[in-house]
Chains A and B, each alone.
Chain A
Amino acid sequence: MPTKVLICDDSSLARNMLARSLPADWDIDIQFATNGKEGLAAIEAGHGDIVFLDLTMPELDGYGVLEYLHQRKSTPKVVVVSSDIQPDAQDKVLKLGALAFVKKPMNSDTALKLVKDLNLYTESTVQRQRPMVSVNQRDCYQEITNVAMGQAANQLARLLDAFIVLPIPKVDLINANDLRMTITETLGYSSYSAICQGFSGAGIAGEAIVFFNDMSFAELGTLLNYKDTHKENIQLEILMDIGSLLIGTCIQGIGNQIDIHFNQSQPVILGQHSKPDELLNPESMYWEKTLAIDIHYTIEHLSVDCNLLLLFTEDSIAKLNKKIDFLLE
């Protein structure tokens, strides 16, 4: 009997990469699920000797799946494969009964060692064909961002000793005329402060903007041991420190995955205490379209709220797609 393997991840790129990382001569029958609910349905239907589980998913996330399984009598072996690598995330899933925690993307050496350690390895006489998962471009951007923002959140979590809540990043192609509207839709009308920083490498260029909800500064300041967090210059310090950390880690994280070294220009303060759409001046923008990736970071139990917006120039998109194609080969 082949081992029944379930891969549960909302990203087609991640499902594809995970399936390919499993030993080719492992005697298995792979099934896929695109969210936690589908995953549980497959497990209930008896397909799940071992489950490779993502954490950040729509409908029902990985924690939800683990909590459900925790109540159940017989549970499958669960390995969490996640881009959220914060220490607290690892603790949480192990407490909920996961057998192992693997950082995304899992490589084939890790996979082989893991299935051998879990005593699941049975050799097949035939080499398995590479499973075909059709992968769309948006999924690729989302997944690459997932991994990068997970690294950024991990850094921030360690710096602040807090748990960063990670969302699913939003990927959109935006017209310059619609940028302000999109930002208002995302951030609303509260008071924000923002910094931006250009990045470029291998002909791919863009800009990262970090928007901080102004109410975040008091608690962030406390976490960073700043006094007088109501003062303008202290808020700028915080904005610059946290903003550069989020931008730098995320940009380098994306670069590492697609093998590009990004240069970063000096950060610039876009403005303080303004409505988010007023921080940008679209009349002076000379470009037409941008590939926008929005990541909304919040911190558990605190009113800290910020958005990292990655904006790639239109002529970068074709080059980015080419780099991403290498990941799929």
Chain B
Amino acid sequence: MSKIRMEDIHWIMDILQNIDAGLVVLDKEFKVHLWNNFMESHSGIGPQQALQASLFDLFPDLDADWLRGKTDPVFYLHTRAFTVWEQRPYMFRFKNPRPITGRSSVMYQNITILPIKNINQEVHHVCLIVYDVTDIAIAHNDLRKHGLSS
């Protein structure tokens, strides 16, 4: 791998913090190791509170058995896992990012779960990427209501 400059790391951290998608790194105990601005802004939970805490303590409504079922293959088979809004409208109950003109009270989410390999090619951590798909979901539901989509 090419040499990484300190400056690059600052850039990457800044981008990860400010990108318009949620990023959460979890270990096998579901303890939080990365919590970016998107997650902080929409949950109201700051990194001081989130880091090292169990995701299930932070979000008691989260279905633990379901999430374990989703992440097990990521930890053990090193494959990616996904959930889309049609199957489960959201994983984290966040407000619609446009709470005034948006036509739903919640944020619809698609989620990707990535395995993170360490130097020895082992996976002890996974990364959840939370995409806001509220506008897509609402537009799709409108079309369906008018019989224009299956």
Contacts and interface: CB of A to CB of B under 8 A. Distances in A.
Q: Is the interface of B mostly helix, strand, loop or mixed?
A: loop
Interface residues on A, range: 20 to 34
Contact of A286 (B20, B42, B103, B132): B103
Choose among B99, B102, B105 the residue with the greatest number of A CB atoms under 10 Å from its CB. B99
B41 A262 contact: yes
B101 A280 contact: yes
Given A201-B41, A203-B44, A286-B104, A265 B20 contact: yes
B101 A206 contact: no
A292 to B, nearest CB: 9
A189 interface: no
B29 to A, nearest CB: 27
A287 B99 CA distance: 8
Interface string A38-73: 000000000000000000000000000000000000
Interface string B16-30: 001010000000000
A147 interface: no
B100 A263 contact: no
Contacts of B20: 263, 265-266
Nearest to B135: A268
A205 interface: yes
Contacts of B37: 261, 263
Nearest to B17: A261
B109 interface: no
A159 B17 CA distance: 28
Contacts of A284: 103
Given A202-B44, A203-B44, A265 B98 contact: yes
Contacts, number: 69
Interface in A272-329: 280-281, 284-287, 290, 311, 313
B89 interface: no
Contacts of A200: 41-42, 95, 97, 99
Contacts of B132: 265
A254 interface: no
Contact of B105 (A197, A201, A286): A286
A250 interface: no
Interface residues on B, range: 20 to 34
A66 to B, nearest CB: 40
A93 interface: no
Interface in A194-208: 196-198, 200-203, 205-207
B110 interface: no
Contacts of A281: 101, 103
Nearest to B105: A286
A263 B41 contact: yes
B71 interface: no
A28 interface: no
Given A200-B95, A265-B20, A265-B132, A313 B100 contact: yes
6 contacts: A200-B97, A206-B100, A207-B101, A261-B41, A263-B20, A263-B42
Interface of A: 196-198, 200-203, 205-207, 209, 261-263, 265-266, 268, 270, 280-281, 284-287, 290, 311, 313
